[in-house]
Amino acid sequence: MGKVLMKGNEVIGESAIKAGCHYFFGYPITPQSELVAYMAKRLPEVGGLFLQAESEVSAINMVYGAASAGVRVMTSSSSPGFSLKQEGISFLAAANLPAVIVNIARGGPGLGNIQPAQSDYFQVTKGGGHGDYYTPVLAPSTLQEIVDLTQEAFRIADQYRTPVILLGDGVLGQMMEPVEFKETSEEMHLFEKDWATTGTVGDGPPKTITSLDLNDVSLEERNRKLQEKYETIKDQEVRVESYKMDDAIYGIVAYGTVARIVKSAVDRAREAGMKVGLIRPISLWPFPSSYIRKLSEQLQLNKLLTVEMSAGQMVEDVRLSVEGIVPVHFYGRNGGVIPTVDEIYQEILKLKYGVMV
Amino acid sequence: MKEEIIIAGFGGQGVMSMGQILTYAGMKEGKEVSWLPSYGPEQRGGTANVSVVISDKTVGSPIIDSPSTVIVLNNPSFEKFEPLVKAGGKLFINSDLVTKKSERIDIEVIDIKATSIADKVGNPRVAGSVILGAYIEKTGIITRDSLITALIQVLGVGKNHLISVNEAAFDAGKNILLENV
């Protein structure tokens, strides 16, 4: 297949379908509505089911139902709508149900606005709903990467029986870029789901899927198993990219849209002779902590700078990663404002020359 | 080569489509491209704009701080984007609709009475294509063939009756530029 020019939201939809997801329950909200519209159009064409629920809460619970039946299923929203899904995500995590949930984040808190933001980082990486759980979070920074990571999201969801979050923002959702879809039928990882509640036909005891467990001892055991699963995910599913870090003495940490802007700023700083590079976490949970720590030690980095479209959320994970061995600076814009290449370049200069007058 | 273009005007003037045509054309020529629309509340009653990057190298930021080219189709867009044009860059103005004049001497200003010219080729609504014709003639970023291929793609089957008038508009834009030189 050749390259096609598509909007990010549509790329997510097509990638999901190519990954074998034929069920989508959603509710429109800017800046992710094109994804809902795309699924409404495309799913009937591939024999799937699209349903626009009456609210985000009911959409996520429809996902719970479809996941229980063992199919690949997805829902999507943007920040305020994503908050409404949190109860359901906690239920999915507790019931060990695989599903992919997309958040094309926008400025908050509250209803905020419809411009791009990264201020849902805490919410998506620290559980977000009630109880002790985590969800793997994948954060693409180009539309081509959306193609790969959407498929990975379904693989991770099925392999570990967990909800997985694909995190983007308004820029990634709205922009167009050429993408190439691979023919996935050969490589597509489909998992045997012997736990799915598809009805017994006299072949054994009935199966149940529930997040309710009134017995404290067995609920603790459930929690222990969940935590064990999270340890395996932390061990196996870390993704990170570095750019021009080989001889760097300053490292910029950024993800998603901001990582692209930082790349441009890094190029400019390199032209000005500064030894600076980019560390781009792709999985936000599990966070590439040991990678950042080791790189900081090996290169004897002088300073790290975290850039986000938030008041400073991922920067906490960066600081926890390096445990004080290297100072971590922060630059952020929020409320839907996107940091410019020039602003970030100025921040890089500050790393070298201190605060500019 | 890296061209960073902002096209701005009122919603309905074809700003998004002009951006798409350039983006498609760039892609067809094997270049790295990105297209980013303004999708904020500013679209309603204010200006709509689109940022297009066409480059030999992978596109970093799709957000443009200092465009190498700006195309403006109304006064509010002129006010917002004229100051942002990079020194040595180009500013294309539909001077039928924009009454303001640029006083910058560090950029090249190209005034085109695009709506009048479009009217002459048969449809005032193809003013955007007049400017695109002038734009590719001036910059040489994209060939005319690629622009036509992209036009057909963007118009789609439903609007293919508009191909010839847009093609005529591209050529009228190119010619007006050559006449003025």
Please enumerate in sequence order all residues whose Cβ is within 8 A of that of A202, keeping only pairs 6 or more positions apart, or say none.
Answer: none
- Exposure on the CB side of residue A173, measured as CA atoms within 13 A: 29
pLDDT of residue A357: 44
- The rounded percent of chain A whose pLDDT value lies above 70 is 97
Structure tokens at A53: 């629920």
pLDDT(B73) > 90:
yes
A4-198+225-236: CATH number: 3.40.50.970
Strands (DSSP E) contained in chain B are: 2-10, 32-37, 47-55, 69-72, 90-94, 108-112
Are A114 and B40 in contact (CB < 8 Å)? yes
pLDDT of residue B167: 96
Interface confidence (ipTM) of the complex: 0.92
pLDDT(B125) > 50:
yes
Q: Where along chain A do its domains lie?
A: 4-198+225-236, 243-353
pLDDT of residue A236: 98
How large is the angle between the packed helices B127-139 and B114-121, nearest 10 degrees? 110
The rounded distance, in Å, linking the Cα atoms of A296 and B12 is 51
Q: Does A175 touch chain B (CB under 8 A)?
A: yes
Pairing of strands A240-243, A163-169: unpaired
The rounded distance, in Å, linking the Cα atoms of B38 and B8 is 10
Task: Name the residue among A114, A261, A267 with its Cβ closest to that of B63.
Answer: A261
Section B90-95 average pLDDT:
97
**Residue A329: DSSP 8-state:** E
Q: Which residue has the higher pLDDT, A190 or A195?
A: A195
pLDDT(A1) > 70:
no
- A17-34 per-position pLDDT tens digit: 999 999 999 999 999 999
Q: Does A180 touch chain B (CB under 8 A)?
A: no
Are A3 and B27 in contact (CB < 8 Å)? yes
Section A86-107 average pLDDT:
98
CA distance to partner chain B, nearest, from residue A142 (Å):
9
Section A237-263 average pLDDT:
98
pLDDT(A240) > 80:
yes
The rounded distance, in Å, linking the Cα atoms of A231 and B134 is 60
Q: Where along chain B do its domains lie?
A: 2-180
Section B20-36 average pLDDT:
97
Fold that domain B2-180 belongs to in CATH: Pyruvate-ferredoxin Oxidoreductase; domain 3 (3.40.920)
- The rounded percent of chain B whose pLDDT value lies above 70 is 95
pLDDT(A356) > 60:
no
Strands (DSSP E) contained in chain A are: 4-7, 23-26, 49-52, 73-77, 99-105, 137-138, 163-169, 176-179, 240-243, 250-253, 276-281, 283-285, 303-308, 328-332
**Contacts with B65 from chain A: Cβ below 8 Å:** 340-342
Strand partners, B3: B54
- Return the residue in A9, A177, A343 with the most chain B beta carbons within 10 A, the one to mutate for interface testing: A177
Residue A176's φ and ψ, nearest 5 degrees, are -115, 145
* Identity of the amino acid at A30: T
CA distance to partner chain B, nearest, from residue A43 (Å):
22
Fold that domain A243-353 belongs to in CATH: Rossmann fold (3.40.50)
pLDDT(A184) > 70:
no
What is the average pLDDT score of chain A? 95
- A97-147 per-position pLDDT tens digit: 999 999 999 999 999 999 999 999 999 999 999 999 999 999 999 999 999
Task: Name the residue among A176, A260, A261 with its Cβ closest to that of B35.
Answer: A176
With an 8 Å Cβ cutoff, the interface of chain B facing chain A consists of: 20, 23-24, 27, 33-37, 39-41, 59-63, 65-66
What is the average pLDDT score of chain B? 93
**Contacts with B27 from chain A: Cβ below 8 Å:** 3, 5, 178
**Contacts with A113 from chain B: Cβ below 8 Å:** 40-41
A4-198+225-236 and A243-353: identical CATH topology: yes
**Closest C-alpha among A328, A271, A284 to residue A137:** A284
Please enumerate in sequence order all residues whose Cβ is within 8 A of that of B149, keeping only pairs 6 or more positions apart, or say none.
Answer: B24, B25, B28
Task: Name the residue among B20, B33, B60 with its Cβ closest to that of A267.
Answer: B60
The rounded distance, in Å, linking the Cα atoms of B138 and B167 is 17
Are A175 and B61 in contact (CB < 8 Å)? no
Section B82-102 average pLDDT:
97
The rounded distance, in Å, linking the Cα atoms of A156 and A136 is 8
- A202-213 per-position pLDDT tens digit: 878 889 999 999
pLDDT of residue A187: 53
- B42-59 per-position pLDDT tens digit: 555 567 999 999 999 999
How large is the angle between the packed helices B15-28 and B127-139, nearest 10 degrees? 40
**Residue A170: DSSP 8-state:** H
Section B144-151 average pLDDT:
96
Q: Does A9 touch chain B (CB under 8 A)?
A: no
**Contacts with A342 from chain B: Cβ below 8 Å:** 65-66
Section A174-199 average pLDDT:
84
